[in-house]
Structure 1
Amino acid sequence: MTYAPVNSFDEWTPLKEVIVGRADNYTAHYVDASFQLFYFDNVQPDVDATAGQPLLPIPQQLVDELTEDVAGLTDALSSGGITVHRPSALGKDVDIQSPSWDARATPALNVRDNTIIFGKTIVETAPHVRARIFENDQLKPLFYRYFEAGSRWLTMPRPALARGSLDTAYFDRQGIDVSHVTDADTALSIDGLGLELIFDGAQCMRLGRDVLVNAANRNHAMALRWLRETLPDLRFHLLDGIADSHIDSIVVPLRPGLMLLREPKYLDYLPKPMRSWDVIYPPPMDESAFPDYSAFGFNIASRHIDMNVLSIDENTVVVNSLYPQLIRVLDDRGFTVVPVRHRHRRLAGGGFHCFTLDTERAGGCEDYLS
């Protein structure tokens, strides 16, 4: 296969090439302090039950069903003429270790999290969760091919993720006490290190020349500074603590002038030009619409995960077939909806936007906000 340099500036122009993640051997969550703090809004107080048992197994049947649904996404994209690449598969029960901590590695499923494509540049980010620190190794065979084809390839400073690296300011501002998580952290500290640059790709939403960036604490603020200094041709707009981390289940631009938005209260976080855009508010979903994992674990994603859709172009969008309410709304607005089944999105922690990394779209560095 002949590769071209990456080219992806936005979330909606025609999708030509994409990486779809792998769920193979995703047999456990490693529920250490870095995992708990990252998913704190969703997993508390359930995660308290795992104290002293950091490895939370996922039943093989659910892994098989998740793998089957990811294959369905791959088939739907391929049948639409989109070139689909896959990461290398992670081996079974791969344990990893740094000088400060150990963890069980996760496969490269939510590939949106540890990489951002900014035009012709690949940017590997600085993971929040220790178990994910080597996840992009499964993507490196693809990145090298893109690099050899002429792509620019950058990497944020790799965080040590030692004890004390994570900023709890987002929770502190809300009066939420997370000390029982930080106090129980078994990782070792590094003398003099303090807070680090830590950031996920899904904290960004790309709109051509403009990029929305959620920064909820000092970890993220350092990353925003790095982005601005490293990519000065782009305009990075601070969304000041719109969420604790990811934003692709809060604000999803479908095309210029139209977006999915979780609730009206989030409008005030957005740049002023976006506040006049047309808005689709997703129909509510209640807990009964999702599988119950209480027999062995808990949901790590919120019940809003199904607004995590993937646009193929300005008029075509991939939506979970198990969210017929949103399918009807989008259909009424004139969209062509591609329904794909995704059963275990709350257990896997991601939807179709999370599972994909679009490496080529037809759009350029357009100015959609001036």
Structure 2
Amino acid sequence: MPQPISAPPPALNSFDEFTRLDEVVLGRAEHYTDHHTDPSWRLFFYDNVAPALGRHTTPAGEELLPIPAQLVDELNEDIAGLADALTGCGVNVLRPAAPGKAVDIRSPHWDARATPPLNVRDQTIILGNTIVETAPHVRARIFENDLLKPVFYRYYKAGAKWLSMPRPALTRDSLDTTYFTRQGLDVTRATEGETAGNIEGLGLEMVFDGAQCMRLGRDVLVNVANHNHELALRWLRDNLRNLRFHRLDAMADNHIDSVLVPLRPGLMLLRSPKYLRYLPEAMQSWDVIYAPEADDENFPDYTDLGFVIPIGSRYMDINLLSVDENTVIVNSLYPELIDVLESRGFTVAPVRHRHRRLFGGGFHCFTLDTVRHGGPENYLT
């Protein structure tokens, strides 16, 4: 069973994605009963939800898309399986506080249904001995990290540093759509019905998720797809001068942990060869495992459960979690990847994860690794 957060903590130390994992925060999904499909949500998940936007329109103020309770129950079963796998690998598992109910939140500029702390990788990045809270894209997630504060204070009291990006107001003019418009895409369907207010003179804000980063010791890869992200990269460089931040030029619209996974120094998992050109030159000579095609039959069919929108891509299962440089936790419903990794000498702990596309997260998304053995190594020199 996961350990209580009152247990004495080890020192916060997490510089990479692959050295031995000792302690991790695992998200939770209680009361994940709806997607709040406001414009900030539609823009963030645009690549995946755009095909459904024409079929799902809601009047302003009625933007809740219900998630069938059966699917939430099955998600919680799979999260429990992940917790068991982690503890079985000798990893101490911490959990955020549980939301006591579905919560509606309000700012001076907009209303939203709060999202529970499931994808804990998104709103925080651990950089060495520093907790960095990031600046959410999605309005419904603006207070999500409050439920992680008991964990953060546990590390802070033990000596960790703690920084937070400026909280974005997320008004109607806060989000930059140029990633899509540069590709000739019309995002009108995502922004229509916008009821949020405006702040005169504010314009585009710093908006950024922790899952836009990949950590490699002293080096951090940062996906920058628009001006919101450019502001965040400047903030990271200004506030964490002991690290080297490498700009990836629009490798994806936001998160990159279903595109790129460093498995150990010199070896990475990559979605396809076309993504090599985005990486630092020193990394382009690494050995690469390209993700095999997944069988569509391994994704759930929601036809009989009413109208639901898969918000995550079909590549979500690339989003694995490394326990150490030889051991990885992979969705059991992606046997094609399990076979490839085992053929390369990895020990694979298979864990079932059925509704990864519906809830927009894989095992890397659901976890925040707080204690690993690695340090500020120079993996790119």
TM-score bin, normalised by smaller chain: over 0.9
Query: What is residue 47 of structure 2 aligned with on the other side?
Result: 41
Query: Offset at 1:333?
Result: 0.2
1:9 to 6, 15, 18: 15
TM-score of the superposition, structure 1-length normalised? 0.98
* 2:36 counterpart residue number: 30
**Partner of 2:110 in structure 1?**
101
User: Offset of 1:363 from its aligned partner?
Assistant: 0.4
Cα separation, 1, equivalents of 2:255 and 2:215: 13
Aligned to 1:65: 74
Q: Distance in 2 between matches of 1:54 and 1:293?
A: 20
Deviation at 1:24, TM superposition (A): 1.1
Number of the residue aligned with 2:4: none
1: CA distance, partners of 2:329 / 2:14: 18
Question: Would you say the 8 A contact 2:39–2:190 is kept in 1?
Answer: yes
Counterpart of 1:171 in structure 2 is 180
**1:344 partner letter:** H
The answer to whether 1:332 aligns with 2:338 is: no
Inter-CA distance 122–101: structure 2 relative to 1 (3 Å threshold): same
Q: Equivalents in 2 of 1:170, 1:151: separation in Å?
A: 35
Q: 1:91–1:48: structure 2 CA closer, same or farther, 3 Å change rule?
A: farther
- Seen in structure 2, the aligned counterparts of structure 1 residues 91 and 296 have a Cα distance that, compared at 3 Å, is farther
For residue 55 of structure 2, give the secondary structure of its aligned residue in structure 1.
helix
- Alignment of structure 1 residues 257-296 onto 2, 5 Å: 257-294=266-303, 295-296=306-307
Deviation, structure 1 residue 97 = 0.5
Q: What letter corresponds to residue 94 of structure 2 in structure 1?
A: H
Q: What is the 5 A alignment of 1:45-56?
A: 45-52=51-58, 53-56=62-65
Q: Matches of 2:14 and 2:195 in 1, distance apart?
A: 40
Question: Retained in 2: the 8 A contact 1:29–1:55?
Answer: yes
Matched residues, percent identical? 67
Q: Which residue identity is paired with 1:129? A: V
* Aligned equivalents of 1:354, 1:97: Cα separation in 2: 26
> Is 1:20 matched up with 2:26?
yes
TM-score scaled to structure 2, two decimals? 0.96
Provide Cα deviations, 1:272-298, integer angstroms capped at 9, x if missing partner.
011000000111125332112353211
The one-letter amino acid paired with 2:132 is V
The question of whether the paired residues in 1 share the 8 Å contact of 2:46 and 2:190 is answered with no
Aligned to 1:244: 253
Take 1:237 and 1:312, find their aligned partners in 2: how far apart are those partners?
25
Counterpart CA distance in 2 for 1:175 and 1:339 is 40
| 1:87 alignment partner in structure 2 | 96
CA distance in 2 between counterparts of 1:157 and 1:364 reads 27
Structure 1: runs of 5 or more not aligned: none
Shift of 1:181: 2.4
State the match for 2:238 in structure 1.
229
Q: How many angstroms apart in 2 are the aligned matches of 1:131 and 1:292?
A: 27
Aligned AA (2:194): D
- Equivalents in 2 of 1:50, 1:160: separation in Å? 27
